[in-house]
Amino acid sequence: MSLPLPPELISEIIYFLIFSAPPRSTAPENLGCSTKPSWLTLNALSLTSRTYRALALEAWFHTLCIESPEDLEFVRCCWPEVGARWTKHLHCIQTYSSYLSIWDLSGFLHLSSIRLDFSPIITPSFYSRLGTSFILPFFNFSSSVEHLDLHGLSWPSPGVLQNIPRTPGLEHLKTLKMKQDTVWCGLCGGSCRVRFNDRPTGLVYEGGYGLPIDYARALAPLEYLEEVVIIVPNRGFGSTTLGHAPTTPDPGPKRNSNPNLWAGECDKCMKTKYENDAFRRKWLDRKRGVDTFTGDRLTSWLKLQSSPGMWLYAWQRGLTTKRPKSIGPSSLRTISSSSGGAGGSGTPAWLTSLFRVSTSWKTAPQMVSNTIESDGRRQSPPQSSSDGRGGELLRSSFMEIAHSLTQGLHWFDQSKNPIYANNPFISRALPKLITPPRTASSVKKHICKIEGLSGAESSSLFESLSSRSATAESSKLVLKEDSGLGLSKDDPIVLVVGVEDVKNRQVIATQLVGLPKALPFEPHYGNFQRTIIDLVLLIAIQSITASTTAKKVMKAEGLVNQNIQLFEDMDREVPMNDNDAHISFQTHVYPGHDGDHPITVVCGQQIRGEVKEVRNTNQMDPSFSKQIRGGTLWNPDKKIQADWLPFQRREIMYTDGVKTMGYISGRTAPYSGYIAINSAGRKGFVSEDMKLRARAQVLDIFISFILGGCQERYGHLANYKSIHVGIIGVSGTTSSFPAIEHLDIFSVRNLAARLLLFDREGADSVIAPPRKLQVWG
């Protein structure tokens, strides 16, 4: 059997698909256009498995394109990993708003570049007010941004640029890119369009030139700035050229084509002020050495393409990591226009990879201590986990358990679950398998159960080998903190039991002597937790309480008329009740959002036995294994429909999947359907028209909710939310969702809560196998 591909290779394949596919828009550099491809590029791969879906979403959200701060909060609520682990490049769009949106970046822990598309309807007077606002419209940076891309600045004044160094989080900026319709003229102090009469070729500056003087002053505090890219169109129909000088003839083919070191001067200033040759030379000397970025190894690039529809590129590159101190000798060389194109020999290698995403990044995990707020709720942990689920990076602490007997001298008995090949006396247990509340009594019961000891009530528990007194039965034990009990094999938790309990345990072990040894098998590695289930809630948002959540769990797990207890997480001592505040699954942090701290459901031993009996009754005939649901309440007429099966609305029935024909007395037309068994164990005929069509029902509710028709057609579901339909699906497919292509602003709310089902005697007697559940109100 061939081994599966490693996730690292699958991730590289997914990234290759994204970067090699063409973007959705034909002009991705225009305002409001994304550089990302269509979601259809990854749609088929994302439906392959849960692992591939997680890798596809991680690669897809590597670049996040968002239109408003409200959508940003919504996406982070649906996918907490977006800000915590996935997103490295953020594209903020506000193309059709008359006000400037404020973006909160507190949730993005690994953000490296930002692209901001300004609204074209914002007036220049607004930018004059922005010039005095001291910062850009971003706050709460959680990481150092190295690349900033500003598109659509209709008034690119130095006052706007000076906000960049003032914005906290942009101090380590390395690349600044600005795509705008005008350029700043340092002579007249205004923003103007570029109008050259000729079509200048590409130029390369050396010596730290190329930026307008006012821009250089505004960006001078950025010590790590290496490149500045300015993109403006050449409108043409001007009266000047790149080498315009009224006192000298236009340069010929062998002369310097840019003697004035053009840096954004408008056509009017070059025509009027350059007539004074003394002024022109003084201005040129100032551009060569005053108030600009300086340095012996600093190179400044300028590329001009003035044909209609082409763009002007001007950028500056620093080859040193320190801020330059002095200016070196300037030189100028001209390159041919053929080498200035993309991929030509004259194009710097860094330009083609300026915004290319690196797929070899690795994030070092961070150890974070747990904090509890004053109301007892756990604070929102930093999303820096390396386990693929986000959330707090908790150490998988195990309890090292040593069993000892006290008979004059200490004698340690061997464990049934040793973890070391050379030491059979040390065992361990996962803290999450201990039934809450985690007191000494519950810990003793769990240890005795996994070790085959029956004297849990008469045993004593010691917190360590050095403890002189046993721990009280009601004492709460801290098992998941960094400084909890049982973290070291040199200082384990000690359980002291009686001699009779050990003898009984040894008798059970000797009964296995004489049985043939098990055949060696090839190990298969995997991570499987059979007690974890995902519950998709479709209940009224206004009435989510502990009792309603408990009812949904009972319905999903088949618990009939039983009292169960819900704990907000596995470390709680007091169960949840309806007197507490209503449970909200729409916030960023909600009960069960973290797999390491799921909602805990506790039930008794008697409940487990009853449920098993009911399930065995429903599955008496192994051939009747296919489930169907009743589409409506159906009570057949006993006289003319004696062999028809009665059932309730949404009642689960079991059938063999073989279609047959049913008849009504007095009628000749047959009815297509199945022979099924209802919850009462009665067998009969169920018409195909009367069973619930799960996929059509879910899709109909989902589409009706989008179109606003949910109140008319599904009045009882008017307050419900369609959850996970576009990702998981009841029927296992997600083929016809119009919003799936725009997954970065996907409008399906994820209210999935992870639930861990326990009983009072321990986790080994859990009644439910792992599966995906769809719970209806």
Q: Which of 510, 538, 565 represents a domain boundary (last residue)?
A: 510
Q: How far apart are CA 480 and CA 431, in angstroms?
A: 7
Does 81 have pLDDT greater than 50? Answer: yes
Predicted TM-score (pTM) of this structure:
0.41
Q: Which residue has the tokens 């763009």?
A: 311
Verify that 712 and 649 share a domain, yes or no: no
Tell whether 215 and 337 lie within a shared domain: yes
Residues paired with residue 150 on neighbouring β-strands, in sequence order: 116, 178
Question: Residues 506, 428, 511, CA angle at the centre, nearest 5°?
Answer: 20
CATH number for the domain spanning 500: value is: 3.10.20
> What is the pLDDT at residue 182?
84
pLDDT digits (tens, 9 = 90+) for 438-461: 788 888 888 888 787 776 777 888
The SS3 call for residue 715 is helix
- How far is the CA of 589 from the CAs of 550, 552, 618, in angstroms? 20, 21, 39
In this structure, is residue 515 part of a structural domain?
A: no
Q: Which domain holds residue 302?
A: 181-247+257-341
Residue-level pLDDT at 113: 92
In a domain, 476, yes or no: yes
Residues 128-173 pLDDT 10s? 455 445 457 887 887 788 899 888 877 788 888 888 888 888 888 8
The C-alpha atoms of residue 386 and residue 382 are separated, in whole angstroms, by 12
Q: Which residue has the higher pLDDT, 724 or 279?
A: 279
Q: Give the Cα separation of 445 and 458 in Å (integer).
A: 11
Choose the final residue of a domain: 691, 711, 739: 691
CA angle 180, 68, 139 (to 5 degrees): 80
Q: Which residue type sits at 711?
A: Q
Q: Are 427 and 450 part of one and the same domain?
A: yes
Least confident of 14-23, 95-104, 264-273, 681-690: 95-104
Q: 313 and 270 in one domain?
A: yes
Looking at the structure, do residues 317 and 441 belong to the same domain, yes or no? Answer: no
Whether 375 maps to a domain, the answer reads no
Report the distance separating Cα 572 and Cα 438, nearest Å.
8
604 & 672 share domain: no
pLDDT-derived band at 744 (thresholds 50, 70, 90) equals very low
Give the residue-averaged pLDDT of 42-68: 88
Question: Quick one: pLDDT at residue 119?
Answer: 76
> Which segment of 48-52, 105-109, 558-562, 656-660 scores lowest on mean pLDDT?
558-562
Please answer whether residues 759 and 432 qualify as being in contact, where contact means their C-beta atoms are separated by less than 8 angstroms.
no
Task: Output 152 or 764, whichever has higher pLDDT.
Answer: 152
Does 673 score more than 50 pLDDT?
yes
Residues 149, 141: Cα–Cα separation, whole Å = 16
592 shares its domain with 455: no
Residue 723 forms part of a structural domain = yes
DSSP string, 182-227: -EEETTTTEEE-B-BSS----EEEESS--S-HHHHHHHTT-TT--E
Q: Is the pLDDT of residue 221 over 60?
A: yes
Q: Quote the radius of gyration of the chain (alpha carbons, Å).
A: 35
Q: Of 93-107, 189-203, 356-370, where does mean pLDDT reach its minimum? A: 356-370
Place of tokens 């005095």: 132
Instruction: Pick 492 or 412 by higher pLDDT.
Output: 492
Beta carbons of 540 and 777 less than 8 angstroms apart:
yes
Q: Indicate whether 667 and 764 sit together in one domain.
A: no
User: Looking at the predicted structure, is the pLDDT value of residue 296 above 50?
Assistant: no
- Tell me the two tokens of residue 62: 């590597």
Are 413 and 536 part of one and the same domain? no
As a whole number, mean pLDDT of residues 505-533 equals: 49
Residue that finishes a domain, picked among 319, 341, 363: 341
Instruction: Specify if 229 maps to a domain.
Output: yes
Is 371 within a domain? no
204/724: higher pLDDT: 204
pLDDT at position 575 is 81
Same domain? For 312 and 448 the reply is no
Are 701 and 710 in contact by the 8 Å Cβ rule? The answer is yes
Residue 202 contacts residue 304 (beta carbons within 8 Å): yes
Residue 22 has pLDDT above 50, yes or no: yes
Is 431 within a domain? yes
Residue 434 is predicted with a pLDDT of 81
The structural domain count of the chain equals: 4
For 521-550, the pLDDT digits (tens) are 454 444 444 444 555 444 444 457 777 777
Indicate whether 335 belongs to any domain.
yes
User: With contact defined as beta carbons under 8 Å apart, do 313 and 346 qualify?
Assistant: no
pLDDT digits (tens, 9 = 90+) for 385-427: 433 444 333 333 333 333 332 222 233 456 776 766 666 777 7
Q: What is the share, in percent, of the chain residues with pLDDT greater than 90? A: 1
Say yes or no: 308 and 238 in one domain.
yes
Q: For the residues of 85-114, what is the DSSP string, one character each?
A: II-SEEEEE-TT-SS---EE-TT-SS--EE
Q: Is the pLDDT of residue 592 over 60?
A: yes
Q: What is the dihedral of CA 364, 370, 375, 379, to 10 degrees?
A: 0
The rounded mean pLDDT for the chain is 64
Distance of alpha carbon 340 from alpha carbon 253, whole angstroms: 17
Same domain? 611 vs 501: no
* Burial of residue 168 (number of CB atoms within 10 Å: 0-12, 13-18, 19+): exposed
Closest to 773 in 3D by CA, of 652, 619, 666, 677:
652
